[in-house]
Amino acid sequence: MVNKEEVKKNIKELCKNDKYSILLPTYNEVENLPIIIWLIVKYMEESELAYEIIVIDDGSPDGTLNMAKQLQHVYGDDKIILKPREKKLGLGTAYMHGIKYATGNFIVIMDADLSHHPKFIPKMAELQRYLNLDVVSGTRYAQGGGVYGWDFKRKLVSRSANFLTQILLRPGASDLTGSFRLYKKDVLEKLIQSCVSKGYVFQMEMIIRARQFNYTIGEVPITFVDRVYGQSKLSGSEIFQFAKGLLYLFATT
């Protein structure tokens, strides 16, 4: 009989050199940053996972970078790494920029606006370890997941985007437009290189390409909470861009 505790211990031994580089892209997140970092530190320390947090701020006018510097003093420059850029250059390139400095063998991508709760990172790491997965995706659309604080229009847009994509591309993952995910570093590098889209459709393309390259994907149900501080940026043109990107992927993959 295989003892469960024994298996857990063996996995822990195998994974003792693992390190998680958490990429936090920020644009005007001065209120959210101290809270998200406090939570990440709390949950990573509690679960005894080695980690670093890479903050990629794109010249936020609200002083996010200054806040990040103060947090670096508090938590140490081995834990908080600052890789700012001069101006707002978009999320996709922010990930590419951040990953260059990552020293971990795993990368976690998440939003800094408290929509993604850090308590799910250890759950993703655990699932990854058990099944040696290439990608673990947080999902709002499977057992136990959910969305809080979105109005009807926003829910409809997100649901429809997922629904259409499921039908057109059959990706085999339930949350395509979400961006809370854990990747093996080399897998993420390959995916980013192969992705052509920008904006919202980028998250979807990543998971579609992952499927295309036969990477193994697991899912962890997450609850998603709408941002409390700061401005939302979903607009009509973003929705149009998404539809365009979806059709492009449909035609090319």
Ligand X SMILES: Nc1nc2c(ncn2[C@@H]2O[C@H](COP(=O)(O)OP(=O)(O)OP(=O)(O)O)[C@@H](O)[C@H]2O)c(=O)[nH]1
Question: Alpha carbon 16 to chain centroid distance?
Answer: 23
Examine residue 158 and tell whether it contacts ligand X (CB under 6 A): no
Residue number with CB closer to ligand X (113 or 205) = 113
Phi, psi of 106 (to 5 degrees): -125, 145
Residue number with CB closer to Mg ion (34 or 104) = 34
Examine residue 211 and tell whether it contacts ligand X (CB under 6 A): no
Residue number with CB closer to Mg ion (116 or 209) = 116
In the region spanning residues 113 to 132, those forming contacts with Mg ion, defined by CB under 5 A, are: 113, 115
Report the C-alpha gap between 229 and 27 in whole angstroms. Answer: 12
In sequence order, which residues have a C-beta less than 8 Å from that of residue 205 and are 6 or more positions away? 195, 196, 197, 245, 249
Beta bridge partners of 135: 183, 217
Examine residue 56 and tell whether it contacts ligand X (CB under 6 A): yes
Examine residue 26 and tell whether it contacts ligand X (CB under 6 A): yes
Size of the site for ligand X (CB under 6 A): 20
Dihedral sign of CA atoms 207, 224, 100, 43 in order: negative
Smallest separation (angstroms) from ligand X to the CB of 82 = 12
Examine residue 175 and tell whether it contacts ligand X (CB under 6 A): no
Query: What is the crossing angle of helices 236-252 and 201-212, to 10°?
Result: 20
Residue 53: strand, helix, or coil: strand
Residue 69: strand, helix, or coil: helix
Examine residue 29 and tell whether it contacts ligand X (CB under 6 A): yes
In the region spanning residues 108 to 127, those forming contacts with ligand X, defined by CB under 6 A, are: 111-113, 115
In the region spanning residues 210 to 239, those forming contacts with Mg ion, defined by CB under 5 A, are: 227
Residue number with CB closer to ligand X (94 or 125) = 94
Residues at the interface with ligand X (CB under 6 A): 25-27, 29, 56-58, 88-91, 94, 111-113, 115, 227, 232-234
